Chain A
Amino acid sequence: MPTTAPAFSDATASDSALRRFLFGLPGVDAVGLEARAASLGTRSIKTTAKAYAIDLAISMIDLTTLEGADTPGKVRALAAKAVHPDPTDRTTPRTAAVCVYPDMVATATAALAGSGVKVASVATAFPAGRAALDVKLADVRDAVAAGADEIDMVIDRGAFLSGRFMKVYEEILAVKAECGTARLKVIFETGELATYDNIRRASWLGMLAGADFIKTSTGKVATNATPANTLLMLEAVRDFRAQTGVQIGVKPAGGIRTTKDAVKFLVLVNETAGEDWLDNHWFRFGASSLLNDLLMQRQKLSTGRYSGPDYVTVD
């Protein structure tokens, strides 16, 4: 079984120790947190900084399709888009990954072979996570076997909300064990955890259990990534590295649709976790429509005129 960072091995020694640890984390004042996120949201990112941020954001996208109607054709189109987001401008960076359901992993892997774009797969009975552990693990195994580079698991929110933290912890450990070399992103579904205190606890729980990334949400509930919940998770990874030396990534997902939004998130990263996270190994956007807005803004910066939806591809 993978081990917890040594600095916190006591915290996970027992159910009650874990509970004490999580409840011992500093509280979060919602108004203050949101005010800080909003204040960083007023940063004015222009010209060269904007160009840098747009390319960085494109390179951080987990281009996602998670629909019941997904087909191999759809996934292949998405993969093509990930590799060449703007066919008219080959200097456009590739996205970080495409993110699909496990049964589409093989298609995606084939389509992306040699491109450097990763294949991420949601797993563990995404998005609800309401299945037996065996089923969840089988889901993970399937995705990994099909070639997924990254696994996006959902935590058991029911267990978390009812205070069974050890159950959540052990489930993450078990999934991590199935991942092999695939990097594990742990989705909290922050919209269902409801409070910032819970999001901070979940972040630490996930990091203690060996998450490579902590991720806000599935994109399937009313409230997904927000500047405030992402800021809070960035504080968590910042503090975790300060105390353990272990760096963990962050992935806000869902609801980030515009360049303006994406740039705000990058400002949060820059001024909270710091520049070490300004890299798609450590920060991702779970998004789909965001990419086209970034591309239009990119075209505007290079040509000086506003672009339109007919000048980016619909995939």
Chain B
Amino acid sequence: MSEQNRLGVFKTYKLYVGGKFPRSESGRVYEVTDSKGAWLANVPQSSRKDARDAVVAARKAFGGWSGATAYNRGQVLYRVAEMLEGRKEQFAREVAASEGLSKSKAAAVVDAAIDRWVWYAGWTDKIGQISGGANPVAGPFFNLSTPEPTGVVAVLAPQKSSLLGLVSVIAPVIATGNTAVVIASADAPLPALSLGEVLATSDVPGGVVNILSGATAELAAPLAAHQDVNAIDLTGAGAELAKELEIAAADNLKRVLRPLPAEADGPDPSTDWLAAPGTHRLTAFLETKTVWHPTGALGASGSSY
């Protein structure tokens, strides 16, 4: 039987929440098309309640994930790269369709996305050494600063860069032990929803990353106002939305990562996600904890040692 004769099997795209693949609680879907307007899939139109459920899942996962060893998190992130490597072709197809890229460009973007997981996998057990350390206080005290994850982070994924941009914002958030509720690109959510499948098979504990598709503003508003969300990455928000969300985020003093100026002017396809990422996105969602403890003399009589 030739290719042409065989009727393909479509994939039902679902959300990724708490390690499971639910449909939207709303029961609604919306149509996703390729860059030329051809139908690609119906994807879940997530509701505020889906966002709420995702926060619950992310909070539940936070203790275990933040408490895992940095080495373990590095292994898990590296495993994501391995799993993605095995599904390169599928992602290249989805990226090409979503972003209107040539086959070869899409393949290059997927390669970069895989390499980005590897980059961040290596950071998990190094960022603490870079951004923390002992402080030489003027007294008989041991004083140590260590970075700790902020908590549950709402992530507005870039609107244009549907996979590389997405990975570039998720990986740094979870590398340091945060858990994430991700709003996928509204128009190009397929790579994000497929990434959920990769994460589910990569030893990433359920709830560490939760992926929602739908209208960005509609989902972002309840997340920005949510009292159990600790931080928000506004990368995928336009200037006006970003401002609204930053105002809402102030209600519980969420840490806010503002969109890049280029993105703030309107989602900008030219944002160079291929550039070296640096550590900015890692440190944006870290809290510095400083612990003091007396050292004192070896004995009551002082000591010459």
Query: Do any beta carbons of A and B sit within 8 angstroms of each other in the complex?
Result: yes
A residues contacting B by CB (< 8 A) are: 29-32, 34, 190-191, 193-196, 198-199, 222-223, 226, 228-229
B residues contacting A by CB (< 8 A) are: 140-141, 294-297, 299-302
Q: Which A residues lie within 8 Å of B300 (CB)?
A: 30, 190-191, 193-196, 198-199, 223, 226, 228-229
Q: Which A residues lie within 8 Å of B302 (CB)?
A: 223
Q: Which B residues lie within 8 Å of A29 (CB)?
A: 294, 296
Interface pairs (29), CB distance under 8 Å: A30-B294, A30-B296, A30-B297, A30-B300, A31-B140, A31-B294, A31-B295, A31-B296, A32-B294, A34-B296, A190-B300, A190-B301, A191-B300, A191-B301, A193-B300, A194-B299, A194-B300, A194-B301, A195-B299, A195-B300, A196-B300, A198-B300, A199-B300, A222-B301, A223-B300, A223-B301, A226-B300, A228-B300, A229-B300
Q: Which A residues lie within 8 Å of B296 (CB)?
A: 29-31, 34
Q: Which A residues lie within 8 Å of B299 (CB)?
A: 194-195
Chain A nearest Cβ from B305, distance in angstroms? 12
Extra 9 A-B pairs, beta carbons < 8 Å, given A194-B300, A199-B300, A222-B301: A30-B294, A30-B297, A31-B140, A31-B294, A31-B296, A190-B300, A194-B301, A196-B300, A229-B300
Once bound together, how far apart are the Cα atoms of A160 and B302, in whole Å? 20
**Nearest A residue to B294 by beta-carbon distance?**
A31
**Nearest B residue to A229 by beta-carbon distance?**
B300
Once bound together, how far apart are the Cα atoms of A199 and B300, in whole Å? 9
Once bound together, how far apart are the Cα atoms of A34 and B140, in whole Å? 11
Q: Which B residues lie within 8 Å of A228 (CB)?
A: 300
**Nearest B residue to A228 by beta-carbon distance?**
B300
**Nearest A residue to B303 by beta-carbon distance?**
A194
- Do residues A31 and B301 form an inter-chain contact, with CB atoms below 8 A? no
Chain A nearest Cβ from B139, distance in angstroms? 8
Once bound together, how far apart are the Cα atoms of A58 and B300, in whole Å? 27
**Nearest B residue to A199 by beta-carbon distance?**
B300
Once bound together, how far apart are the Cα atoms of A40 and B294, in whole Å? 19
Once bound together, how far apart are the Cα atoms of A145 and B302, in whole Å? 40
Chain A nearest Cβ from B141, distance in angstroms? 7
**Nearest B residue to A29 by beta-carbon distance?**
B294
Chain B nearest Cβ from A193, distance in angstroms? 7
Once bound together, how far apart are the Cα atoms of A226 and B302, in whole Å? 11
Q: Which B residues lie within 8 Å of A222 (CB)?
A: 301
Q: Which A residues lie within 8 Å of B295 (CB)?
A: 31
Q: Which B residues lie within 8 Å of A226 (CB)?
A: 300
Chain B nearest Cβ from A39, distance in angstroms? 14
Once bound together, how far apart are the Cα atoms of A191 and B300, in whole Å? 7
Once bound together, how far apart are the Cα atoms of A53 and B205, in whole Å? 69
**Nearest A residue to B299 by beta-carbon distance?**
A194
Once bound together, how far apart are the Cα atoms of A30 and B293, in whole Å? 11
Q: Which A residues lie within 8 Å of B140 (CB)?
A: 31
Interchain residue pairs A-B with the least CB separation, the first 10 = A31-B294, A30-B296, A223-B301, A194-B299, A31-B296, A191-B301, A196-B300, A31-B140, A195-B299, A195-B300
Once bound together, how far apart are the Cα atoms of A222 and B303, in whole Å? 11
Once bound together, how far apart are the Cα atoms of A199 and B299, in whole Å? 11
Q: Which A residues lie within 8 Å of B141 (CB)?
A: 31
**Nearest B residue to A224 by beta-carbon distance?**
B301
Q: Which A residues lie within 8 Å of B294 (CB)?
A: 29-32
**Nearest A residue to B140 by beta-carbon distance?**
A31
Once bound together, how far apart are the Cα atoms of A222 and B299, in whole Å? 13
**Nearest B residue to A31 by beta-carbon distance?**
B294
Once bound together, how far apart are the Cα atoms of A209 and B301, in whole Å? 25
Chain A nearest Cβ from B303, distance in angstroms? 9
Once bound together, how far apart are the Cα atoms of A190 and B300, in whole Å? 8
Once bound together, how far apart are the Cα atoms of A228 and B299, in whole Å? 12
Chain B nearest Cβ from A27, distance in angstroms? 12
Once bound together, how far apart are the Cα atoms of A193 and B299, in whole Å? 9
